[in-house]
Amino acid sequence: MSLKDSANHDGGLRFHAQSPFFARLNFYVLCFGTVGLPFGLCLLLSVGAFKLTVRSTRTAGVSKSFLAGAVAGAAVASSLLTTPIVLVLAGWLALRKASDRNKKLLSFLAGATVPLLPVVLIGLRAPHQVFFDLVEYHLFHRVGSEGNMIRWNLRELFNWFGSIQGIILTALAVVGFGRSYSQTEPDDARRSEIFLCGLISIAVAVFLAIPRPTFSFYFLLLTRFVSILAALGLERILSSDRMRNSGWVLAVVLGLYCVGLGPEAYKMRREIFHSDHSMVEMLANQINQVTPADGWVFAFEQVYFEAGRLPPPGLENSFNPYSKANQWLAENRFATVCMMANDPRVKDFDLFGRYSESAAVSGPDFTVYLFWNRAASPSPGVTKN
């Protein structure tokens, strides 16, 4: 495989055969990029923005740079975890030595604002709520004072970078990134594109290490970029003059990468609670059977949705730090309570004593309690629901 084969005729980096292999068989991509989370869409949009940005520098006009900005902005609108990608792409356009760089940069930034306009419009109508959801909550309320967040974040970083797949990807990516400084890459434009890919990988990795707490599955957002660099690194190794059995080396590397799926799947199976939707349906059906139409329900977001019930004010997000849920539990305000069996509030608020009816719904890994038919009326001064 020659260096020439690593590029399109228009000069843009082409994804090597191993690049989609590394991304598609990555455990975190398979586990979290294929479910109802924004990560799959973010992967598509962020890589699309990268490719469009690169190609926009090789064509006249600003249409491609505008489209690149729009796609990058859509990724941010899907998840703020992709914010560094927009910043790095904009900085790369700004630092290029080209006469039209300012036009392309402005068109990129203009395109990036389009997907964010709905957020701006909603922010004008409800500025406090939008600012809290997008900024204040993440800066000040993601986690309480309990626990050691540095230790937690280091563990999550190790879960990704210290796994078999993470080690292979990182090691090969370092070799691929080094190619941008190597004499084996004679094309300055392609060297710049490799450098851009590496810069995105580093910026995203650093940014994702900051949240308190972070989670290992966040790092799947850099998998596609690291995979491109890893494919370049693998090509560099296999095309080395010292390499005698490149076929065997390729088979061993790809084989070990596949083997790496096993330990991650086993570990996740032991650490993560899971249940299918039938359990949510069971809880929702029972709640609707025992709760008056105007009765307040304390439950999980999925149960509210399945039961077709609006959460009480402030309980739309179970992580809301200003929620009055505990106060209302103490006041017997809820007609029905749905709570994990191991939740300390079951005992703290004596829910078995406050409600005359209860039931336990068990899944493969946990049990949920349902309480209804209040044994005592709500506290004085509290509206009965």
What pLDDT score does 59 carry? 87
Of 130-139, 167-176, 293-302, 350-359, give the lowest mean pLDDT range. Answer: 130-139
pTM: 0.80
pLDDT, mean of residues 209-234: 91
* Tokens matching residue 64: 């491609």
- Per-residue pLDDT band for 184 (boundaries 50, 70, 90) equals low
What pLDDT score does 185 carry? 58
Cα–Cα distance between 363 and 336 in angstroms, integer? 20
What is the Cα Rg of the chain in Å?
A: 26
pLDDT digits (tens, 9 = 90+) for 66-90: 999 999 999 999 999 999 999 999 9
DSSP, residue by residue, 73-132: HHHHHH-GGGHHHHHHHHHHHHHS--TTHHHHHHHHHHHHHGGGHHHHHHHHHSHHHHHI
The label of the residue with tokens 């009326």 reads 377
- Per-residue pLDDT band for 357 (boundaries 50, 70, 90) equals very high
SS (H, E, C) 295-342: CCEECCHHHHHHHCCCCCCCCCCCCCCCCCHHHHHHCCCCCEEEEECC
What pLDDT score does 187 carry? 67
- Per-residue pLDDT band for 256 (boundaries 50, 70, 90) equals very high
pLDDT, mean of residues 283-306: 94
**Higher-confidence residue: 46 or 21?**
46
What pLDDT score does 5 carry? 41
For the chain, the distance separating the N- and C-terminal CA atoms, rounded to the nearest angstrom, is 71
Q: Is the pLDDT of residue 41 over 70?
A: yes
* Tokens matching residue 373: 């038919």
Cα–Cα distance between 227 and 201 in angstroms, integer? 10
What pLDDT score does 86 carry? 96
What are the residues facing 258 on neighbouring strands? none
SS3 content of the chain, % helix, strand, coil (to 5): 65, 5, 30
The single-letter DSSP state of residue 378 is P
Percentage above 90 pLDDT, the chain: 55
Of 40-54, 102-116, 141-155, 343-357, give the lowest mean pLDDT range. Answer: 141-155
pLDDT, mean of residues 250-265: 88
- Per-residue pLDDT band for 4 (boundaries 50, 70, 90) equals very low
What pLDDT score does 2 carry? 38
What are the residues facing 272 on neighbouring strands? none
- Per-residue pLDDT band for 365 (boundaries 50, 70, 90) equals confident
Alpha carbon of residue 307 to chain centroid: 27
What pLDDT score does 8 carry? 42
pLDDT, mean of residues 249-257: 90
Q: Is the pLDDT of residue 183 over 70?
A: no
pLDDT, mean of residues 244-269: 84
Percentage above 70 pLDDT, the chain: 88
